[in-house]
Each structure stands twice: as C-alpha cells, then as structure tokens.
Amino acid sequence: MMGCVPASASPDPRADAGRRPIGVFDSGVGGLTVLHELLVQLPQEDFLYLGDTARFPYGERSPEELARFSSQIAEELLRRRAKLLVIACNSATAAALPILERRMMETTLGVDVLGVVRPEAMQAVAATRSGRIGLLATPTTVASGSYERAVSSVDPHVTLQAVACPTLAGIIQAGEQFDERAVDSVREACLPLREADVDTVILGCTHYPLIKPMLQRMLGPSVTLVSSGAALARQVEHALSTRGLSNPRQHGEGDYRFLCTGEPESFRELGTRFLQMPLGEVERVELQSVEALA
Ligand code: DGL
C-alpha cells in the first residue's frame, strides 16, 4: 500500500523527478537482500539506501518507536531528494507503514511509500494450493497482525500460521557459518509450520533469504518459499511508470550509495555478504528529530 510523505525540503519536487534516486531503508544491513533484487530488476535506477545500524535490531520494538524512526529516516531520504521511498524492513513495514501513511497523507506534492508486507502476502496467496500459508518473522512483525490482514484482504479463506523468531535475525547476522545453535533455532522455527502442514512460507524478515537452503531442507522441497524482493521490485517498477518517475537513462546502470547511523566500516564488512555485490561509498548520518511529522 502507498502513502504520501511531504517533500518539504525540495522547492520543486517534480523537476527532473525521474533522475532522482529511490530511497530504501531498513534497520541495518538486512534490507540489502531486498536492495539486491531492486538492483537486478531495475538496473537503470539510482538508489540511496539507509541502514539504521545504530538502532538495530527493530524486531522487538514498539510500533510507536518504529513509526518515529521511520519518519526520521523518511525525512533524511527526502532531504536527499528521493523520488520514492521503499521500506525494505519487515518489522518497520508491519508496525509503522499504516502510521506513516496516515501522518503523511496530506500533500499532493508528496512521495509514495512502499512496504514489503503486501507484495509478499499477494505472492504467497497466489502460490498456495492448500490455502495454508506459514510466516516466519520477528516478534514485532508477528504481533502487528499485518500479514494476517494482508493475506485475508487478498483471500479470506487462506489461513496463516505465524511463528515469531526473536533470535534468528541476530544469529544470521553474526554467523559467517552456521553452528549447532543456528541449526537448532531454524529447526525450532520450522516445527510449527511442518505441524500445520503449510505449502507456502513467507520469509517475513530481511535476513531469512540468506538461510533459504536450510529452510527449504527443513520444510521440505515441495514447500514454496516467498521472499519480498522480486514482488516488491515489480511494484516499484509499476509505481514509477504510472507516476512518470522512471529514470530516463538509456545505457548502462545507475549508481547506488549507502548511509548508516552506526559504524560505516562494519556496515561495509557485513553489507557485502547481504548485498552480494560490491558496496560503494558508505556515509555515516545523524538523523534529525521529526517535529514536523509528529
Ligand atoms: N530488517 C529487520 C526485519 O526485517 C531485521 C530484523 C530486526 O531488525 O530485528 O524485520
């Protein structure tokens, strides 16, 4: 779903709009798995990614907190002339997208906001044959009920078995290789989904695509795993072309740049594993308060 963010810092936000970057944000490096898909599907576009590494993880924070963080980040990306905002983070989308949309609906000179929940839910409903879908996500995402709402708005007869995984994102982020503890956590998360006999599982956290082979093995080869990147990329492409905001670049690829709120060096080190492409420039950013949006 989309909402509008006032592009207050730009005097003429429509001027040469297509050449402006797409702003993407996340709690840290995890959203780089989503950016990866966007870079593959939309090579002609420029991207500006902000990882809120200083405040990672988001997965057990309250909706109010995540709405505040997301508003601060949105403001920063708009100051840097983003033409569209993408919330790559499942926890931030689940907890804060509706609040962000409500707060920011008031201007016609705004910038649209896309989140990851709805594209994944639509893809999962299209994939299921049995009508039983599973969800693996952070506690904040599960508690928000946003995937249930998104799934039942597409098809009210489809059921969702949600499993909150409080430690999994941290374990994936920490581990170059998987030890016994990681394998046990993944197995534990998969157990309720096996018992519920789901045929489709939504990977409801930016980190989980990194353990896709392990999940597929534990859930069984006939289970369809749905991650947000590809479906979101199609939605971004649609939003840009219907608004006349596609980058007019004819040849070559666009550029991508990174902002983070924590240590740029550790962002770069971790980020390469998540992006699976070379990381360019990483700049540390101080986020400002959001009185204007409160
Ligand atoms: N990007 C976050 C998410 O998808 C990763 C987990 C976290 O920050 O707790 O929910």
**Residue recorded with tokens 């057990």:** 60
274 within 8 A of 176, measured Cβ to Cβ: no
Q: Give the position, in ligand 1's atom list, of the atom nearest the Cα of 59.
A: 9
Q: What pLDDT shows up at residue 106?
A: 58
User: For residue 158, what pLDDT is reported?
Assistant: 98
Contact 38, 235 (CB under 8 A): no
Q: How far is the CA of 31 from the centre of ligand 1 (A)?
A: 8
- Residue 205 designated active-site: yes
What interhelical angle do 90-103 and 117-127 show, nearest 10?
A: 120
DSSP string, 118-150: HHHHHHHHHH-SSSEEEEEE-HHHHHHTHHHHH
d(CA 70, CA 51): 11
Neighbours of 274 (CB within 10 A): 26
Q: Which atom of ligand 1 is nearest to the CA of 30?
A: 1
* 269-279: pLDDT as tens digits: 999 989 999 89
pLDDT surpasses 70 at 98: yes
213's CB contacts (< 8 A; 6+ apart) are none
Under the banding of pLDDT at 50, 70 and 90, the label for residue 294 is very low
Structure tokens at 187: 């197995």
| pLDDT (0 to 100) of residue 281 | 83
Is 190 part of the annotated catalytic residue set? no
- Asked if 78 and 10 touch (Cβ cutoff 8 Å), the reply is yes
**Average pLDDT value for the chain:** 90
| Sign of the four-CA dihedral 273, 261, 117, 4 | negative
Q: What is the pLDDT of residue 180?
A: 85
Q: Compute the distance between CA of residue 18 and CA of residue 40 in angstroms, rounded to an integer.
A: 18
* Ligand 1 center–CA 106 separation, angstroms: 29
Q: How far is the CA of 204 from the centre of ligand 1 (A)?
A: 9
Q: What is the number of the ligand 1 atom nearest to the C-alpha of 90?
A: 4
**pLDDT of the residue at 234:** 96
Protein residues whose CB sits closer than 6 Å to any atom of ligand 1: 26-27, 30-31, 56-59, 89-91, 138, 141, 169, 205-207
Measured CA angle at 260 (ends 254, 265), to 5 deg: 95
Work out which ligand 1 atom sits closest to the CA atom of 61.
9
In the chain, the DSSP E strands lie at 4-6, 22-26, 47-51, 84-87, 110-114, 132-137, 159-164, 200-204, 224-226, 256-260, 282-284
CB 119 within 8 A of CB 228: yes
Q: Taking 90 as the threshold, does the pLDDT of residue 83 lie above it?
A: yes
Kindly tell me if the per-residue pLDDT of 82 is higher than 80.
Answer: yes
Q: For residue 1, what pLDDT is reported?
A: 41
Residue closest by Cα to atom 2 of ligand 1:
89
Of the residues 73, 207, 208, 211, which should be mutated to test ligand 1's pocket, given the most ligand atoms within 8 Å of the CB? 207
More confident residue, 293 or 198: 198
In this structure, the residue with its CA closest to atom 9 of ligand 1 is 59
Q: What are phi and psi of 234, to 5 degrees?
A: -65, -40
Which residues have CB under 8 Å from 53's CB, separation 6+? 27, 28, 29, 260, 261, 262, 263, 266, 267
Ligand 1 centroid to Cα of residue 263, in Å, is 18
pTM of this structure: 0.92
Per-residue pLDDT tens over the stretch 104-138: 665 545 788 999 999 999 999 999 999 999 999 99
- Please report the pLDDT score of residue 175 as a whole number: 74
Using alpha carbons only, give the angle 223, 29, 264 rounded to the nearest 5 degrees.
165
Ligand 1: centre distance to CA 13 (Å): 31
Residue identifier of the C-alpha nearest atom 10 of ligand 1: 91
| pLDDT for res 290 | 59
What percent of the chain is modeled with pLDDT above 90? 79
Predicted pLDDT of residue 182: 84
Kind of pairing, strands 224-226 and 110-114?
Answer: unpaired
Distance 224 CA to ligand 1 centre (A): 22
